[in-house]
Amino acid sequence: MARPYNFSAGPAAMPVEVLEIAAREMLDWHGTGMGVMEMSHRGKAFGEIAAQAEADLRELLAVPSHFKILFMQGGGLAENAIVPMNLSRGGVVDFVVTGGWSQNSLKEAGRYAQTHLAASNADSRHTTLPAPASWQLSPDAQYVHICSNETIHGVEFQALPDLKALGSDAPLVVDFSSHVASRPVDWSRVGLAFGGAQKNLGPAGLTLVVVREDLLGHALPICPSAFNYKTVADNASMYNTPPTYAIYIAGLTFQWLKRQGGVAAMEARNIAKARLLYDFLDQSPFYENRVAPDCRSRMNVPFFLKDESRNEAFLAGAQARGLLQLKGHKSVGGMRASLYNAIPIEGVQALVDYLRDFEKEMA
């Protein structure tokens, strides 16, 4: 049987080529006589792996030289605390709440800063995006936080807000966990971006932080050294032992992305993949997606069977067809298909074929 398509929201499908290389190199990386897991993070071999991963990521995402790339631990959830510990200076921080993740970020930041809700889409149950012109930004905010793609609710910013144009000098903090490397980033609008690796980059346990250099050096005294961005940056992400194997796998993924044509090429594919699925859902009387068309996520597509009594049959049939991990998040229900970079359009076509067949079968 062909390899199943895995629509998990994360940890998620990896490129097959990456897994094949990792399996082949497991006991001996490039003739060193060591697997990557066995290498000292201070040694020459791992130093090469980490430097290459960082350089490839900088190229792929076109990260300007005045931004530092940090490889950390703790995931997006830990960053909800680590960002305000590093950037808030205990002052006011603005949050734009657009779904489960930004809601969590707001709550956690309250331990370290005075949080201000600048805008919210709670009225629409997180199915729209509040227009930036309507945001109530604080004049003295230390930063403005958004989640540029809400994994649970399937809402995505199609462009990052231009805070300067909105009259704010605050840096923009972006949680881009679940769509990093799926589309280009306009760094001129960003102060800091962070993301867990386990969607589009690599294994869970690696966290990516990209931070403008001028924002370093203002951590609160209670910020743990291991999570002080300046300390991490000054030590090239090796102040504490980094998650070495996860960095290696992410590096293999970066090389795979380059072979695919880079982020612009991935974006074109991701647009085509998302369109294929949304177009099918929209024309069907059997399924529905509840997110407003202009802010639908290309990466995470929550959808519902209008007759939810058929959910279990749907999932069992999908599993039998080799379409895995389609169950929706518990806070939203229904189904969710995550179409990260590692999902080829053939996988989306297989899903659409199944959606059509299941609909007919139930008619």
Work out whether 255 is an interface residue with a second copy (CB under 8 A): no
Active site residue 175: yes
Task: List the structure tokens of 318.
Answer: 């999908």
Number of C-beta neighbours around residue 1 at 10 A: 4
Identity of the residue, 19 or 236, whose beta carbon is nearer to a second copy in the bound complex: 19
Q: Cβ of residue 342: shortest distance to a second copy, in angstroms?
A: 8
User: What's the alpha-carbon Rg for the chain, to the nearest Å?
Assistant: 21
Alpha-carbon torsion (215, 216, 222, 228), positive or negative: positive
Q: Cβ of residue 350: shortest distance to a second copy, in angstroms?
A: 13
Number of C-beta neighbours around residue 76 at 10 A: 26
- Draw the binding track, 97-136, toward a second copy (x: CB under 8 A; -: no contact): -----------x--xx------------------------
Q: Which of 101, 135, 256, 273 is catalytic?
A: 101
- Draw the binding track, 21-60, toward a second copy (x: CB under 8 A; -: no contact): -xxx-xxx---xxxx-xxxxx-x-----------------
Give SS3 for 133: helix
Q: Quick check: 172 and 191 in contact, CB under 8 A?
A: yes
Task: List the structure tokens of 163.
Answer: 């805070």
Q: Cβ of residue 282: shortest distance to a second copy, in angstroms?
A: 27
Instruction: Look up residue 148 and give its amino acid.
Output: S
Q: Which of 56, 68, 94, 199 is catalytic?
A: 199
Q: Quick check: 205 and 73 in contact, CB under 8 A?
A: yes
Work out whether 224 is an interface residue with a second copy (CB under 8 A): yes
Work out whether 184 is an interface residue with a second copy (CB under 8 A): no
**From 10-18, 56-64, 119-127, 264-272, span contacting a second copy (CB under 8 A):** 10-18
Q: How far apart are CA 363 and CA 352, in angstroms?
A: 17
Q: Which of 29, 143, 245, 358 binds a second copy (CB under 8 A)?
A: 245
**From 79-87, 161-169, 186-194, 308-316, span contacting a second copy (CB under 8 A):** 79-87
Q: Which of 52, 138, 240, 311 binds a second copy (CB under 8 A)?
A: 240
Residue 163's closest CA among 180, 188, 126? 188
Q: Which residue has the tokens 């961005």?
A: 229
DSSP E strands in 139-199: the ranges are: 143-147, 149-150, 155-156, 172-175, 192-196
Task: List the structure tokens of 116.
Answer: 């201000």
Report the binding-site residues for pyridoxal 5'-phosphate. Answer: 101, 151, 175, 198, 240-241
Number of C-beta neighbours around residue 101 at 10 A: 23
Identity of the residue, 221 or 285, whose beta carbon is nearer to a second copy in the bound complex: 221
| Binding region for a second copy (CB under 8 A) | 1, 3-4, 6, 8-14, 16, 19-20, 22-24, 26-28, 32-35, 37-41, 43, 73-78, 80-82, 108, 111-112, 196, 198, 202-206, 221-222, 224-227, 239-246, 249, 322, 324-325
